[in-house]
Structure 1
Amino acid sequence: MMIALLKTSLTGLLFAVAATLSTAYAHEFWLEPSKSRASVDEEIPITIAVGQNFVGDTIPYIPDSAVRFDVYGPGGKTEDASAGFAADPGGIVRPAGRPGLYIVAYQNKGNRITIDAPTFNTYLETEGLDHILDHRRANGLMDQPGQEFYTRFPKTWVLAGDNIDAGRWAAAPSNLTFEMVPVSNPFVLRSGDLLTLQVLYAGKPMPGILVSTFVKGHPERVQAVRSGPDGRATVSIDRKGRWLFAAVHAIAAEDRATVDWESFWTSLTLDVPAR
């Protein structure tokens, strides 16, 4: 009886998580540390979140839905970020006395989805996926639903102790299929500064990507800037607080049955103190 109840509960949990991911498709997906600057002796929970404009729901960590959930610690050491099955917050960073930068990177297994035509067209416009909109217009598909397979690649940082080498590690790619990397030390940023991010797809600079920015506690998207020929996008850090940078890239889904497009979503969170 106990085993049967456990299986039923597990099935219900997995279904609920899948439903949350599907309904939140056209929203941001991010990792959020309880604090981004910590001492070397404390453990820092990492929340997996989905929503819009930095407001949404947390998601428990389910191993079957993830490809990776890693922490890259000082010297490039890789550890498991998961806090345990169905944990919420889903991850944890354990400096264990080691000062330095801890990069947390996540990738889900991806999901197929069908979106009604008006919602799909609005999503394409909002996320700057003009090439798909142009294709739909040119082929008389604007009234057809969107068939898509999407994968998420969020990451965040925790800086343990006062480590002068953190900026160098922050500017290094995390080997995610789609990601954003700062070109200079983000930990010296203050309100009023500029931040340049390089958008990478398969390790190469990606031009023409719309980078959207959000600040926690503010109800609307703050900025939307396209990456240039070198994949770089510069945003104005015009206020203090917790920032979320998000971007989407999509290609024709030639290798996947039953879908037309394959999309890749990335995000990065960063805390900016007052000047």
Structure 2
Amino acid sequence: MQYRLFCSILCAGLTSGAAPVLSHEFWIEPEKYQVDSGETVVAKLRNGQEFKGAEQPYLDHRIARFEVMQGQTASPYLGRMGDMPAFSGGIMQDGLAVLIHQTQPQTLTYDSWEEFQAFIDHKAFGDIRTQHRARGLPDAGFVEQYTRYAKALVAIGDGKGADLAAGLETEIVALANPYTDDLTAGLPVRVLYQGKARPEAQVEIFDKSPDGAVTISTRLTDAQGEAVVPLAPGHSYLLDTVVLRPAPDGKDYVWESLWAALTFAVPSR
């Protein structure tokens, strides 16, 4: 058991430490997005690319917030050190459950500008290099701090209910219920940053079909911070959006990234 725990912690450190350099995503992946009344909800934490990634254990020193929200009520989740899957919830009431996971901040050092530029280009941040140089920062050997804010929507029993803003510094809020509403025209979502709508934000959409094939597309939010995600029955989805901002004065890192993720599935018709 100690050996397994050590390996889990080591692997988690390796995968999460490299994530932003390679534009890796972090998400909550329920074993089942729809569960029967009284059934336990089990979910994994994953870190990877293209909706495929390494499973992460429950590590309390890496967690800033881990909750289940149903309606207006949020309940903290406490697991055991090294648990994989990281989440195994008890009996919950019927309705839509929102799993919430916020990591503690972590840092990484960029050894070259090319690594940072690849991240900038992938997330469509624009001309960051001009800002970087205007601040008198070096092109290599600088530090970024990153924090993850992940949510997952799980239907319990009838699955009725609505996603709500959870008070995360950045998050994606589903404006319709993927398990109960008519989403022929797609799922409307809103991107929030510090509680306000975030316009012109890139939302990356990872669409996984029942055979495991993943397609990737992007949408920009409108002036109200909203975008519509096209959906297909029987598919599961990971939505990802990132905020990049200069670090506050006096910090030992110079950039800060905030990663929001939302996972859910669409029932087969």
TM-score interval, normalised by the smaller of the two chains = 0.7 to 0.9
2:188 touches 2:228 (CA, 8 Å); kept in 1?
A: yes
1:69 touches 1:81 (CA, 8 Å); kept in 2?
A: yes
Partner of 1:17: 12
- 2:128 is paired with a residue whose SS is helix
> For structure 1, which runs of at least 5 residues remain unmatched after alignment?
none
Bigger mean CA deviation after superposition, 254-263 or 210-219: 254-263
Please say if 1:269 is aligned against 2:246. no
Aligned residue pairs total 263
Cα distance, 1:137 vs structure 2: 7.1
Cα distance, 1:157 vs structure 2: 1.7
- 2:116 is paired with a residue whose SS is helix
- 1:18 is paired with a residue whose SS is helix
> For structure 2, which runs of at least 5 residues remain unmatched after alignment?
none
Equivalent position to 1:67, from 49, 61, 64: 64
Cα distance, 1:193 vs structure 2: 3.1
1:95 touches 1:160 (CA, 8 Å); kept in 2?
A: no
CA offsets 1:50-93 (integer angstroms, 9 cap, x no match): 000001100001001101111113x4333333442110110123
CA distance in 2 between counterparts of 1:142 and 1:53 reads: 31
2:120 touches 2:126 (CA, 8 Å); kept in 1?
A: yes
1:93 touches 1:102 (CA, 8 Å); kept in 2?
A: no
Q: Which has the higher helix share?
A: 1
> What RMSD, in angstroms, separates the aligned Cα atoms of the two structures?
2.6
Equivalent position to 2:239, from 245, 255, 264: 245
Cα distance, 1:238 vs structure 2: 4.7
Cα distance, 1:258 vs structure 2: 2.1
CA distance in 2 between counterparts of 1:128 and 1:238 reads: 26
1:117 touches 1:146 (CA, 8 Å); kept in 2?
A: no
Letter in structure 2 aligned against 1:247? T
Please say if 1:254 is aligned against 2:248. yes
- 1:247 is paired with a residue whose SS is strand
Cα distance, 1:209 vs structure 2: 1.2
Partner of 2:206: 214
Bigger mean CA deviation after superposition, 15-24 or 147-156: 15-24
2:235 touches 2:266 (CA, 8 Å); kept in 1?
A: yes
TM-score by length of 1: 0.85
Cα distance, 1:17 vs structure 2: 2.2
Cα distance, 1:114 vs structure 2: 1.2
Specify whether residues 13 and 274 from structure 1 end up closer, same or farther in structure 2 by C-alpha distance, changes over 3 A only: closer
TM-score by length of 2: 0.87
CA distance in 2 between counterparts of 1:174 and 1:12 reads: 33
Cα distance, 1:220 vs structure 2: 4.4
Cα distance, 1:128 vs structure 2: 1.3
Bigger mean CA deviation after superposition, 110-119 or 131-140: 131-140
Cα distance, 1:219 vs structure 2: 4.2
Specify whether residues 13 and 58 from structure 1 end up closer, same or farther in structure 2 by C-alpha distance, changes over 3 A only: closer
Letter in structure 2 aligned against 1:71? V
